[in-house]
Amino acid sequence: MQGSFLTTLTTVVAFFCAAAVNADETAQALGDLETGAKVFKKCAACHKVGEGAKNRVGPMLNGIFDASAGAVEGFKYSKSMKRAAADGLVWDYERLDAFLENPKSMVSGTKMNFRGLKKEQDRHDVLAYLRQFSDDPANIPEAAPTAMAVEIELSPEILALQGDPEYGEYLGSECLTCHQVGGSDQGIPAIVGWPKTDFVVAMHAYKEKLRPHPVMQMMASRLSDEEIAALAAYFRDLE
């Protein structure tokens, strides 16, 4: 009986020790807010955060976590950001991370001309810094900040596919019923001249329903990996 009790006690202690280690690893994955404050200086010319923050070139960022896109009162958003908001885009950790990595890849017509933070740790640190200005950081699930570091993880094989531009032109006729072949943006974002990887990532994000837009989700769901690569090659070469 005593041996059984000791075995159970040892198991329970081991469980809580492992949980403590995992919690510590999770906390580290969130990034360092002090380092994030330094990295945020790259953003501070356009964005303000904290007590008394107001809109500047970009919207103020208080309460950004889990907020709907395009929701800061008094800021004039681009048409693309308004469309993303209407489609249901919410700034959870995963999508904030993807937007910081490459803003125009996620919202093509955004007025944010920043090229993005390419270093994963820089993004973790900035988001840790911004997280403290959320309405109630304690209510943001710890699982969310440890989600994917990019919008969608694609295998090297998918990213390496070399699409056939001629086949892409054939497939693209349906896309061009909405998107302008000349690259103009008249209420619908332009897609010509996109880097191949950006196009492929965007289409797979729609296919997996990570990007909110029912029509694009439907269109992407019908495409194979090879067809997406072909479309990427065609629209890239239209610039």
Q: What is the pLDDT of residues 121-137, one digit of tens each?
A: 999 999 989 988 876 55
Residue 74, C-beta contacts closer than 8 angstroms, at least 6 positions apart: 55
Average pLDDT, the chain: 80
Q: What is the pLDDT of residues 143-188, one digit of tens each?
A: 344 333 456 778 889 989 999 999 999 999 888 888 877 766 666 7
Q: What's the pLDDT band for 28 if we cut at 50, 70, 90?
A: very low
CATH topology of domain 156-236: Cytochrome Bc1 Complex; Chain D, domain 2 (1.10.760)
Q: What is the pLDDT of residues 79-115, one digit of tens each?
A: 989 988 888 898 988 889 999 998 988 888 888 888 8
Q: What's the pLDDT band for 60 if we cut at 50, 70, 90?
A: very high
pLDDT of residue 39: 95
Q: Is the pLDDT score of 12 beyond 70? A: no
Burial class for 3, CB neighbours closer than 10 Å (0-12, 13-18, 19+): exposed
Q: Are 125 and 43 in contact (CB under 8 A)?
A: no
pLDDT of residue 15: 39
DSSP-derived 3-state class of residue 90: strand
| Whole-angstrom distance, CA of residue 60 vs CA of residue 53 | 6
Q: Which two tokens stand for residue 150?
A: 């990019």
| Whole-angstrom distance, CA of residue 174 vs CA of residue 53 | 45
Residues 21-46, mean pLDDT to the nearest whole number: 72
Backbone dihedral angles phi then psi of residue 90, each to the nearest 5 degrees: -120, 140
| Tokens 């308004």 sit on residue | 82
pTM of the model: 0.53
Q: Are 206 and 199 in contact (CB under 8 A)?
A: no
DSSP-derived 3-state class of residue 86: helix
33-146: which CATH architecture?
A: Orthogonal Bundle (1.10)
